[in-house]
Structure 1
């Protein structure tokens, strides 16, 4: 496969264009970038879903060709402060292909992930749709593809579309049916997500044994919190260390759980610990995935939205752990500390190239600073 549709589209949607879209909707840069980062692969998933139905393929093909001829006009309209017509065209396009109710669910999923209300998100998706469809249409025309060829083009990018979605977003999108056109890529990701979701439960047995061994040092009133903390952090540590090939088996102790077994703090809910563990796991994994995909300026531009998203997630984690007991904070810090050698190697590799360093250095510097803060929690 010669091209990566996600990369091509993200290259076309420049930071300046993102700022224009956000400004028109009253959104700050981080909110807009986060929504754009998931909105583009979500729209591509929708196009692939439409292409999976033979009766829709010719209609889809005609629309993509039409959008390819108006791509520059749509971009100019947004840049010149006339985004309303672009958003209306985009929403009509999405509604025609996917159905109005599905578009509303799509806007809801993107809005929940980015922290934006659904009506504003729908307007943003309306702006993104002609840009996304226009780039797809240009590829269709340049490759001389007919309706079935376009369908094959979209489905052949299933893995790239799925990998562009941050961890956790695909589960929000699953109920919309928009992932059905991604075939095995969607099913494989769903299976992996299910395995990850089982990890805290798998760790619970070990947590219970550790708790029993600590019965004399932890009062009975603290049992629920300790067991929950041990289960969540054990699952978190297991996932991070066993999915990081840079660590040997000898370097994978369950230090977070052993430290947490000594805690005497109360007042932290099971759900808060679960959410924190999931967010830390997904953020480290997403950072590594984004960095590994950077090899040239094109891929660096495509990776920036994801890196900026995880930067925001690390801010959320820092805020969340401030209310944890000291030993729990040290458990989180231990997980981050063990991840840093691997992440620093990837940071250094990206910054070693002047071309990719020019694009990514500010974001990478900010990420490193936030990770260092978490490691010292």
Structure 2
């Protein structure tokens, strides 16, 4: 099935988001849902227009990749709840980049179309813009798009994007166009021109070889062989040393049980068992170098600072096949983390879910989110202080290092549930 950008973006704004926005903004769920059906294609049409006129495909590519981590329900939920700063400010910046001084007119159109207050339309638009553009960024990152292939990708999506813009929107007039069809044609011609330029350059290179001395042909062949050999050697040896942290969550596309052992050993029983003593005297059974060992060591060290970049991976956590249900034997580690939070009452953590790059990115994101939330809920059931839990978020394959076709030993390192220590 071919990738559908509009449907992928819509999947971020689930029923929970609609319900929360309705309650937070004092609008009907129907009005919120209707506004979102206008926001998503409008933002993407703005991206098409900017990409087709600015000649800054590289800058726009970096822009959407920069908000790839916002393409999830949790980020949108937090933005709606906060109402200002953070993602809202980012959304305002992105919208200004795409539409300039036309943003206020778009807000007015949204308000009239959906039957909601302009203030609500403004909050919703600024909250949804980063997530909508983030879906483009996720696809671009996962498929290693270049500025040229980025434009080609948008060209494959332009018809669905433009047809999804509500009929009541005068978006074409706002952009200075006679019709949205004009935008589609102009963008298509731009991409076609890029393709012809590349083809012409390649043809010129070939003709140069043909008209020159045949020694050049052998030189080029030797260079090509050398490049292929170098690529093969680098692929076989690997690049930088892979992260040796342990993994726990299943890759959502494979729908198999998660890997719970560190890469250096074959079974959990081969690991060294230790006891971790907490400040309140509680003694935990754990593994040397496991999450309990690392987390307690970190929390006891006053010289180490907490922050959004401080993460520890669960190393003995399984889910039932293809679901977000934690297995019974995995609850031992969940209980250990709850005990650690109790012993360090100042500590505050966030739960993150990750997958590898195989399979559908939307499915990966959804299941990684569900599993992160499941761990957070399990901690609450073990009487962890809710004030110490700062939420759960799934990142799908956004931060995966191994390619989709990499060996299993490399890809499994990208599948994990992690704990980020935000305060200590």
Identify whether the pair has TM-score above 0.5, normalized to the shorter chain: no
CA radius of gyration, larger in: 2
The structure whose residues are more often strand, as a share, is 2
The structure whose residues are more often helix, as a share, is 1
If the length of structure 1 is used for normalisation, what is the TM-score?
0.44
If the length of structure 2 is used for normalisation, what is the TM-score?
0.40
